[in-house]
Structures are given as structure tokens and as C-alpha cells.
Structure 1
């Protein structure tokens, strides 16, 4: 395994870094979040740069990248602003991949070019008020009615639903089937009569709302069924490993942004006759942040490499998510300690990073669920030496 990014990925990272510094400066992201304005203009420019096509085949207007390169993209977007990655990742890295992998040719032609161009965004409608970690217990129903399905129920934590063109709704199509066997996926036009959306005020990234979605006798064409009837759980769970790797990459991006702020400050700020980076207590905190970011990034890339190789990645994805997200929480705290009172000021991004970081220990399956997955996988193996 190569532990270097290589020239192409380094150039990609630098291009993205320059792009976001120009198009999404900290002051603008803060303004959008403060005023709860969706970053449409920035998102359109991201699409023009080709970012929305990184998971889409060329024949549908995309420019597909390998998994490690996707992680570089995720890291840089998250470093720029939570509202950007919250708008981007569900549509491009989850729903777009699901359609490419499981959709009919008609569905691919309908949705994928729009996702790649930024003209179509799709929100993930998975969780419900009483169905979060236990997705198999969801109650939103979709009853077949001739050439349509009739949806009734409620979704929650559906990020971007109020500004997306479609919602990927995880629904129960067979009430008699046990657990996950009666679950399916429908691609629902968000403007369909009977759909109502309520933004949920939240701690961070309010420019891209997280929403409750209510379905009241919503008619959806049967042609919008993704994959086979009853195959929804298998499809969703197959997409979650990559999502967890991407969550780890996003966490690395936030930690990197915080580290850069704290390091620059520590090199410039003078106390007791010297730059504070020369004070051992401060220098050690920066060294610890650098160490945690490096370890997190390598674990993330290892999991991404396994995805690229078509290898089993369930355990590695869960490990990457735990390691990176919990390390980032620690890194942000130390970076704020380095900057002291300035870290609390709205004109610096550290306070925003601090608010954004907690989500990553929850999104994509809580870290407690990730630990359950790791234990389950370890119990399923006969050999002790788990890692290759």
C-alpha cells in the first residue's frame, strides 16, 4: 500500500484549497449559517469544477474518482464549511452512488446527469422519530396502488430536504414481512402534493437545513422504485461502509482546518518574550493534534483503499469512523486551548469547527453502533490476527 498521495491527488487538494479560499471564505460561510441561507451559488460553482461528478460514470456526465481521491474531496469540502458538505455528500456520495449501482437504465439517465451537473440534489430520507440506529423498525409505509405507490409517514434528520429536488425515501412496502425484509427505496419528487418539510434548528451548518419530512398520501410512480421490492435494506447497508469512510475523511478536514488556525496563531502570538509555540505546554498540544490527524488520515485511507480493491470493508470503515471522529473532537478542543479567547470569537472558524464536529460521532451510525459492528465482525472470525 502506498502511503503517499501522489502528484495528482496533491494537485487536487491544492486546487480545492484555493477554490474554497476564493469562493467560500470563512466570513461568507459564517454569514450564510447565521442567516440560514442555502449556499446555492457556491454549490453551483462546485458543480462547475466537476466535484458533483466524482461518483458518476463518464457516460452520464461525471468524472469518477477513486476512493482515496474522493476522501481528499470530502476532507477539503468539510474544511471549507459544514453547510457545503451537508449539501454535497448525501446527494453525490450516497444517493448518486445508490442510483448508479442499483438503478435501472432509465433512472440513471434521468438522475445521474443532473446530479453531476449540480441541477439535481437528493436528500437521504432514512431515519424516523422512532427509528434511528434500528433502521429495520421504520414505519413509513408505501402501498402499491396500480402504477403508483402511496406513501404515508414521517422522516427526520433528512438534511437538505427543503432545497433538494428529490428525497430517497426508505419505506416499508410489506407490513407482513419481518424486520428489514419488507423495506424498499423510492425516489420521491420533493414538490409532490402531500409532502411537507419542517427545518429543524440545529447547532451548526444551519445554511443547509436538517429537516423533518411528512408524507400524507403522497403518490409516487412505481417507476421510481430503486432496485427490487423488498431489497431496500440490503442496498442501504451496502452503501453505509463508504459513507462511514467519507465521514472519517470529513472529520479529518475539520481537524486539519483547526490545526492550521492554531499553528499559525502559535507561531505569531508572543507571550513571556517568545512565540507561544516555544512554550512546551502549547507545543505539545500542537504535536498531539498533528499526530492524531496523521493517524486518522492513514486509517481512513486504508479503508478507502480496501473499497477500491473491492475488499470487505465493514470493520475498517467502522474503525476509521471511530478513530477519526473522536480524534477530531479532541483536536478541536486542543486547538481552541492554544488560541485561548480568540477561539471563541465568531470571526475565526474554530468556534464553527467546534460546533460542527460533534455530528460526526453520530452521523452514519453512532460510534457506539460502530463498536457493535466491529465486535460482531471479530466474533465471526476464527483467526486472532485480524489485520493483513
Structure 2
């Protein structure tokens, strides 16, 4: 069982260390958790940095200190100051844009190391630092960094030719909407070069520079800028006289020579995430992306789609505008799912926020941050409900949640879940902490949370995502990751899946539509005994029947979408559950008919009809099987006694 001390551990920090400890072979204790971030209403760079520094000093921890990272740097690489400084720039940039601090700083640094493994070598170059800032742009929540570098004439880092003029000091200043990072070379009194260090400029008073040092972000640090008096443009950052006069400062530190080598001027640019274009243009962009990713062999890769689609707002299509989305209604987004399904049914996962929409049941900043990252194409959320012993019957769920100090501990095993390998975050549904049968709770989990283990299984269809299960071994989840109210997760589950099932039906209809179009083309082109297949009326009959079935299903889907937009979930339920059954079955019949009518060609990989049949067979099971959905329709329309007639007892009568 996890200890109480571990319960209070920052989830991001713990994940950061658990991932890296096997590589490093070190036993390190993660830092304290990050409490809820206060809204930063900074009006200046100095104010933004001061408020962040005060928060860090009080234990709120928006930064990752160098001491937490230095042990990751390979021998001979110096320290991790560039990586720690880059994170400070990110947090200050968010503050200047009026946004809360990034809630997952440790995971942010880990992501940077994964994106730029060379950072672990230390000795970061100017270009590598600029690349690091470009990586952190994705966590700004909209907007970006524009970085200019200016180096000393004698600096080995001035590879781009941007140097300041000898005899003229570099333009060091704190300006509105800008941040400056100063990099300086550290040399001992004996002439040994230790490396370069990075600090963030807070304020300028004459030649006195107030900076934020990533090595000691809780400490006030001041340098005096001095000219080298040699006419070569060399500038030094000296310790101020009051520091040199202190006996507590060692002779070694007093003897260090800090020579300024580069000034990074970073302009923080605000920009709303791309909003989706009009429907016609959006379909065109989807078609273009499909062709590009097909050529790269990534047509069914959901992460590749989300990254590419972010340029025109696709992953944020149905997410709220205040969280970076476009705020499209169910009625507006329905035809987009249908169009995506025409290319491939796996594209059911690339339109809108998908399972990140479940996070809209939380007002907590950590959930909102994941929604923002989803809208930007960075985050991807999986969901786990089913277990080996149950599917639709959630009253048989065995995965448990236990209330503890500061959060919950989850234990159990989920199975038959998609997206777990690709996901950055997971929505996990468990029994409520009360243990009552039929009472559920819903949690947001980071995929790399300690205690989570992903299992892999093979699936016949819908292979764009992984397929497997999730083991929860006493997983601690902070209270702010509870979605909704403990014990009231059924409402979260029901409303989320009514929306999700409807959109899956739309994608299935699109998949069937395109299969019928291929069939019609084949009937006109393929000759049999000297005449086209189109002359065979039995094929025409089936083509007409499937075309009509899909058109009727889509008409009903539009009615259901309107009910969801009006908040009439109870009225929408029998319609959506019925569509999940009959709409998917109609699409499957259409694709199967098209494949069979193509003969041997239809069974080959020369056409995609076999894939469509296989994927639709998967969807008739996923997210509510056809049989279960039909039973749900009967219960919704004619009364729950029809449902419970199939069971020995009402769930309210069942006890543990």
C-alpha cells in the first residue's frame, strides 16, 4: 500500500522520477505537490517573475530547480541550467499572457528531454536553447515565442553572426511583453572554464541587474554589469560590493569570473489557437491531410492527425472556446465525423476532443490544461471502463477507489481498452469510494502515473490505435483529478458516451457511404458477359436499400444531435442507442455488400473494402455492442423492467 507521504507527492514529479530512475539507477525523493495555481494578472515582466518567484518560495513550485535535474546530465556535461531556465521562460510567458502557471512542470521538462535528447549532454548551444523554447511554445496555451540572439564578439556561441558591437554594451533591458535570458561563461580564478550558465533578467537599475537564477530560484540574485575596458566588447557580470563584503561568501565564489556571452531576447506573442474554418473548407483540409498522411503511411495514426489537424482547429472542434477550442455544437460537428469516416473508420478518433470531452465535467485547472493541450493537438486522452468480467453492466465493476488524505487510491484491472499506448492521459472509471454497487467515480490519470501498467492485446480491426488493458496497482490520484463528484460518475459516463456513440455512428455512416460509392463505380466499370454489372437488378436493389438505410440513419442522427444540443439527454438516449445498433449494422451491411460485389478484388488489399468491413465489425462491439444497445432501447422506451427481467436481481438489491 502506498504511504501517506507518497499520497502527497506531486503526480507529475513522481512520474518524472519513476520514468527516469530505471535509467539512472538513483533513489531520489520527488518534491512536494503543486497546489492549485493562482491566476497571474501580471502587467510587467518584473511583476510576472516576482509573483512566480514568490509562489515558488512559498512552496507552490511552478519551477523545476537545477538540483532536481543535474543528476540527469551526462558526466562532463556541466549542469541543467538551460533546461531549468527554459521552463522559467515558459511560466513567465504564460503569466504575461494572463494565464495560470503550467500545472505539469516536471512532465514538461521530461517532454523536452524526450524531444531533444541532446539536452542531457549539457553544454547547450544557442540553437539548442532556441529549439527548447520552441518546444515549450506548445504549453503556452496559444501564442508563441519569437527569439533573437546577440552574442559577444569573442563568444564561441556566436555561430549565426549576430554579435554586439565592440565598445558598445548589448541592449539589456526589461520591456513589456518581452523576456531576456542572459548566458555567461563561468571561469575559476585559476582560469578553468566550468561552463556557461543561464539566468532570466527581472529588472535593471543602472548597471545593476536583478535576475532569477534557475539554480536558486528562491533567492534574490543581483549582478553588476561591467565593461572589460579593453575595447573588445567583453562584458562581465560581477558580484555587487555588498555581496563581496560578506564573510559568508566563500573566496572561491568571490573569485569566479562571469563573462557575458549571449543575450536571448524573447518576445511573447499572444495568438488564439486556430479556429476551424467553414464546413466546406474544413472538409477540404481533411481531404488534403488524409492524402498527405496516406503518402507517409500514417493515415490511421491518431497522434499524427491531431498534430497536423491542429493547424486548422480540428482537434479542438467541439471543445469550448475559452479552452482553446472552436465550440462547435453536436449538430455542427456531426457532418465532420461523417466526412472523416469516408476516408477510414479509424478517423473517428481525430475529430474534436474525443474522450478529452469527459474532462469538461471538472473545473480544476489540471483538467482544463489537458483540454487546452488536446485542442492544440498535443494531448490525446484514452478512456477505460470495461473489465474482463463485464462490459455494459457497470454494476459488476470491480476496480475500486479508496478515499485517502489528499486524494484517492485506485486498484484493479481494466481490459479491452483502445488508445492506451498513444494516450498522454487516461480517463479511468471505478466504483465509488463508498463501495456502493452502481455508484461510479471518474478520474483523470496521467499515462505515466506510478502504479499504472499498460497491457497489450491484438485486435482484428480499428488498428489505428493500440488495444489492451490497464493495471492499477494502488495508484494515488490527487483530489483535483476527480471528474465530477465521487459516486456520481454514472452521469458523467452516460452523457459522455451518448455524445461519443452518436459521433461514432456518423463516422460509420460515412464509412458505409464511401463503400457504396465504390460499389456504384464498380458496377458501371466491371463487365460480365460483355455488359456492365449495373444491369444486374439484384445489385441495384441492394445498393438502393443500403443507400436509403444510411440516409435514414443520418437523418435520425441529426435529430439526436439537436436533442443533445438542447440538453435533452433522456430523450436522445433511445435514439442514440438505437442508432449505435442499427446505424453501425447498416454501414456494415453496405460495406460487406460492396466487398462481396467486387469479387476477389474486394477481398484483396487493392481496395480498402476489407478494412472497412473489419473496422465496422469492431465498432459493432466497441462503445456498446449491438445487442446491448438494442436492449437499452427497449428499456428506455418500454420500461427498465424489460432490462432487469434478464437479471436475477435489481442492482439496488445486490450487496458486496
> Normalized against structure 2, the TM-score is what?
0.52
Structure 2 CA distance, aligned partners of 1:140 and 1:228? 17
Distance 1:120 1:201 in 2: 24
Deviates more, 1:271-280 or 1:352-361: 271-280
Give the equivalent residue in structure 2 for 1:150.
Answer: 409
**Partners of 1:218 and 1:253 in 2: how far apart?**
40
Shift in Å at residue 250 of structure 1? 1.7
Distance 2:553 2:295 in 1: 24
Report how far residue 128 of structure 1 moved: 0.9
The answer for the alignment partner of 1:23 in structure 2 is 292
The yes-or-no answer on 1:92 pairing with 2:353 is: yes
1:46 matches 2:309 = yes
Alignment check: 8 A CA contact 2:359 2:444 kept: no
2:603 aligned partner: 344
Residues of 2 paired with 1:154 and 1:223: CA distance?
22
* Matches of 1:10 and 1:88, distance apart in 2: 18
SS at match of 1:114: helix
Separation of aligned partners in 1, 2:324 and 2:290: 27
Give a deviation string over 1:40-61, Cα, whole Å, max 9, x none: 3233112323111122111111
Alignment of 1:359-374 (within 5 A): 359-374=618-633
Match of 1:189 among 442, 446, 449: 446
Instruction: Give the number of aligned pairs.
Output: 362
Q: CA offsets per residue over residues 150-200 of structure 1, 9 Å max, x none?
A: 2211111221111211110001232542x222x211101110122111221
Kept in 1: contact 2:550–2:587 (CA 8 A): yes
Q: CA deviation at 1:15?
A: 4.3
Equivalent residue number for residue 313 of structure 1: 572
1:238 paired to 2:495? yes
Larger displacement relative to structure 2 (341-350 or 19-28): 19-28
2:271 — aligned with what?
none
For the 8 Å contact 1:26–1:80, the answer to whether it is kept is no
Checking the alignment, whether the CA contact within 8 Å between 1:194 and 1:217 is kept in structure 2 is: yes
Using the TM superposition, give the Cα deviation of residue 267 of structure 1 relative to its aligned residue in structure 2, in angstroms. Answer: 1.8
> Normalized against structure 1, the TM-score is what?
0.86
- The whole-number CA distance in structure 2 between the counterparts of 1:83 and 1:369 is 23
5+ residue gaps in structure 2? 1-276, 641-656
The partner residue of 2:479 within 215, 222, 244 is 222
User: How far did 1:14 drift?
Assistant: 4.5
Task: Specify which structure has the higher proportion of helix.
Answer: 1
Contact 1:150 1:219 in 2 (8 A): yes
Match of 2:382, SS?
A: strand
Q: What's 2:372 paired with?
A: 113
CA contact (8 A) 2:427 2:442 kept: yes
Residues 1:180 and 2:438 are matched in the alignment: yes
Q: CA deviation at 1:224?
A: 0.8
Please state how far the C-alpha of 1:26 moved relative to its aligned partner. 8.6
What's the RMSD between the two structures over aligned residues? 2.4
Residue 257 (str. 1) matches residue 514 (str. 2): yes
- Give the whole-Å Cα distance in 1 for the aligned partners of 2:367 and 2:381: 13
- Does structure 2 conserve the Cα–Cα contact (< 8 Å) formed by 1:123 and 1:160? yes
Matched residue of 1:53: which SS? coil
Relative distance call for 1:11 and 1:88 in structure 2 (3 A) is closer
**C-alpha distance in 2 between matches for 1:148 and 1:221:** 4
